[in-house]
Amino acid sequence: MEPNKIEDIEDIEEFINKKNIFAVIGVSQDTNKYGRKVFDDLKKYNYSVFPINPKEEFILNSKCYKNLKSLPVKPDVVSFVIPPAIGIHIIMECKELGIDKVWLQPGSESEEIIEYCKDNKIGCLHHQCVLLNLK
């Protein structure tokens, strides 16, 4: 896959492969928020998924992590459900950790983050919702 050229179903399939470990940035206790919906759906479909939110200790029965560096394993895909102003810092952390697939949920994307992904060979799904692609 050419970095950041996510245009067809095969590319999306590479992201939603059941073998992938996901981290969801922006999970909260509020079941109506999209970060929580993404996390819940990934769990529902039996993905290995870690919630990330520096303000939470647990989401349901899952330990919630403060940041990507604190995870016990490196995720294959990081799903962003946060404002772009925060996301630019997280994408730099992804590069530092060698994470090469990110999924920017609608509202999380920005030209700055997308360009950073292109410049740093990070595969980037954007303007696509993970919730619609899992089903």
Tens digit of each residue's pLDDT (9 = 90 or more) over 46-90? 999 999 999 999 998 899 999 999 999 999 999 999 999 999 999
* Distance separating alpha carbons of residues 20 and 36, to the nearest angstrom: 19
Count of residues for the chain? 135
Three-state SS at 46: coil
Q: What is the pLDDT of residue 37?
A: 95
| 12 and 132 Cβ atoms separated by less than 8 Å | no
Tell me the per-residue pLDDT of 13-56, one tens digit each, with 9 for 90 and over: 888 888 999 999 999 999 999 999 999 999 999 999 999 999 99
In the predicted model, is pLDDT for residue 1 greater than 70? no
State CA 53 to chain mean position distance: 12
Q: Average pLDDT for residues 102-114, to the nearest whole number?
A: 94
Backbone angles phi, psi at 5, to 5 degrees: -105, 75
The more confidently predicted of residues 102 and 10 is 102
Across the chain, how many H-helices and E-strands are there? Answer: 5, 7
Please report the pLDDT score of residue 13 as a whole number: 83
Q: Is the pLDDT of residue 2 over 60?
A: no
Distance between CA atoms of residues 117 and 120, nearest Å: 5
Distance from chain centroid for Cα 114 = 14
Q: What is the pLDDT of residue 134?
A: 66
Query: Taking a C-beta distance cutoff of 8 angstroms, is the pair 75, 21 a contact?
Result: yes
Q: For residue 130, is pLDDT > 90?
A: no
In whole angstroms, give the CA distance from residue 98 to residue 68: 11
Residue type, 37: K
- Give the pLDDT confidence score for residue 7 in this predicted structure: 47
**Domain annotation for the chain: domains and CATH numbers:** 9-134 (3.40.50.720)
